[in-house]
Amino acid sequence: MLKSEALNVEKVRADFPILNRKVHGKRLVYLDNAATTQKPNVVIDTLVDYYSRYNANAHRSVHTLGEEATAAFEGARKTVSRFVGASSPEELIFVKGTTDATNLVRFAWAEKNVKRGDTIVTTLMEHHSNIVPWQLVAKKKGAEVKYVGLNKDGTLKMDEFEDAIRESPALVAVTQCSNVLGTINDVARICRLAHEAGAVSLVDGAQSAPHMPVDISKLGTDFFAFSAHKMMGPTGIGALYGRKSLLEGMDPFEGGGDMIKEVHTSGATWNDLPYKFEAGTSNIAGAIGFGSAANYLSEIGMDKVRRHEVELLEYALENLSKVKGMTIYGPEDADQRGGVLSFNLSDVHPHDLATILDERGIAIRSGHHCAQPLMEWLEVPATSRASFYVYNSFDDVDSLKEGLEKANEMFGA
């Protein structure tokens, strides 16, 4: 039996209680990590500890529980900030997730700074959360959204990108790693080009922060958005990194408690960063769990996480390509892609395939993956998607291959 050279997968799997369950009497093979990841005991225990031992509102009270909750909440901010290489915790805003983060930038920065006739540059491989907010801004402000195209292998046409950036757009918004193709983009280069043209840059890190080392100080981006639930943390919590000089010039996204310094009948003044953008009671438990997840991944080592996924990708690309009727999308080189494998199998509809695999205990995603412009470019209505993480093994890939071959038999392929 093949074993990962980067990780002790069996030891890692022991930390995830859900992996002990069976689905339809079969061992759970969870390959839907790009949608959401499973949670280790340490994150679950962290949530239970908060609610059972020091549940209180952060930043409000001077009693013991309130001070403990505040300390844990702000400690999590420091942890998550370090995890992505942000220069200061005050530049890291807790939000609901990546979608919430991009919409914060939409309302608090773009609607103030994008003018009639401006362009916003993004790509055809983006998740809807990095397309729709900019479409809405463009419609409201009389601007235009331009989409950079893709090469046949699913990589960006960088010559198109350079041409679009030369036109001095207001904003350049790009994913670091495609949630469908797995393509890893050179966002450091893109951000550098954007800044040279006077544009603000935003990087969607939903699929990169959980799977590879990320250092915002080296990327040079103005905004970086990511979600906790895709990196072993709770749902409903994420973070937006924003460059301090930009955040200071932005108006609050929402009004209410904690985002103010003073309120009078004549008006209000705003709190310091990052609290100016955290109106109301935050997802305190979620943030603390987020910090716990970041610590867990840091203890494993993000370089090891990345190496393990490359191992799995190499094995999967080699073996799944041998299945009759398989079409795999994205770069052929595992080093050029994240732990995502989207494909179609003969004439089997992705939803039918997902159902067949589920009967064998295998969880994959089927559909357009919130990336319909990309589906149109691929000229398919949907794809199937298997996505890997630290608790996946070569055996999981073998199980997927067996399931695909079984589907072929059922459909007479």
Q: Which two tokens stand for residue 199?
A: 């544009």
User: Of 275, 299, 323, which marks where a domain is finished?
Assistant: 299
What stretch of H or E contains 410? Answer: helix 394-410
Q: Per-residue pLDDT averaged across 142-168, rounded?
A: 96
3 belongs to a structural domain: no
Same domain flag for 319 and 285: no
Question: How many C-beta atoms surround the C-beta of residue 154 within 10 A?
Answer: 23
Same domain flag for 349 and 231: no
Q: What share of the chain is helix, strand, coil (3-state, %, to 5)?
A: 45, 20, 40
Which amino acid appears at position 106 of this protein? R
| Domain coverage including residue 363 | 9-30+301-410
Same domain flag for 112 and 204: yes
Same domain flag for 84 and 115: yes
15 belongs to a structural domain: yes
Q: Is 279 helix (H, G, I), strand (E, B) or coil?
A: coil
Same domain flag for 206 and 314: no
How far apart, in Å, are the Cα atoms of 289 and each of 133, 245, 388? 28, 29, 22
Give the DSSP letter string of 306-348: HHHHHHHHHHHHHHHTTSTTEEEES-SSGGGB-SEEEEEETTB
Same domain flag for 23 and 136: no
Burial readout 84-102 (b: 16 or more C-beta within 10 A, e: otherwise): bebeebbbbbbbbbbbbbb
Same domain flag for 335 and 369: yes
| Predicted pLDDT at 413 | 60
Same domain flag for 352 and 244: no
381 belongs to a structural domain: yes
Distance CA 132, CA 137 (A): 9
133 belongs to a structural domain: yes
* pTM, full prediction: 0.97
Beta bridge partners of 329: 342
Same domain flag for 347 and 264: no
| Count of the separate structural domains present in the chain | 2
Question: How many C-beta atoms surround the C-beta of residue 160 within 10 A?
Answer: 17
291-333 pLDDT, tens digit each: 999 999 999 999 999 999 999 999 999 999 999 999 999 999 9
User: Of 279, 299, 319, which marks where a domain is finished?
Assistant: 299
Contact, 198 vs 222, CB < 8 A? Answer: no
Same domain flag for 363 and 347: yes
User: Of 299, 320, 343, which marks where a domain is finished?
Assistant: 299
336 belongs to a structural domain: yes
pLDDT band with cut points at 50, 70 and 90 for residue 16: very high
Same domain flag for 313 and 393: yes
Q: Is 258's pLDDT higher than 90?
A: no
> What is the DSSP code (8-state) at residue 109?
I
Same domain flag for 275 and 184: yes
39 belongs to a structural domain: no
4-14 pLDDT, tens digit each: 888 999 999 99
Q: Per-residue pLDDT averaged across 80-102, rounded?
A: 97
Distance of alpha carbon 256 from its chain centroid, rounded?
28
**Domain CATH number, residue 15:** 3.90.1150.10
38 belongs to a structural domain: no
Residues near 48 by Cβ (< 8 Å), separated by ≥ 6?
Answer: none
Give me the active site residues, please: 370
Which amino acid appears at position 409 of this protein? E
Q: Per-residue pLDDT averaged across 212-238, rounded?
A: 97
226 belongs to a structural domain: yes
**Domain CATH number, residue 288:** 3.40.640.10
Mean of per-residue pLDDT scores for the chain: 96
**Top-confidence residue, 410 or 121:** 121
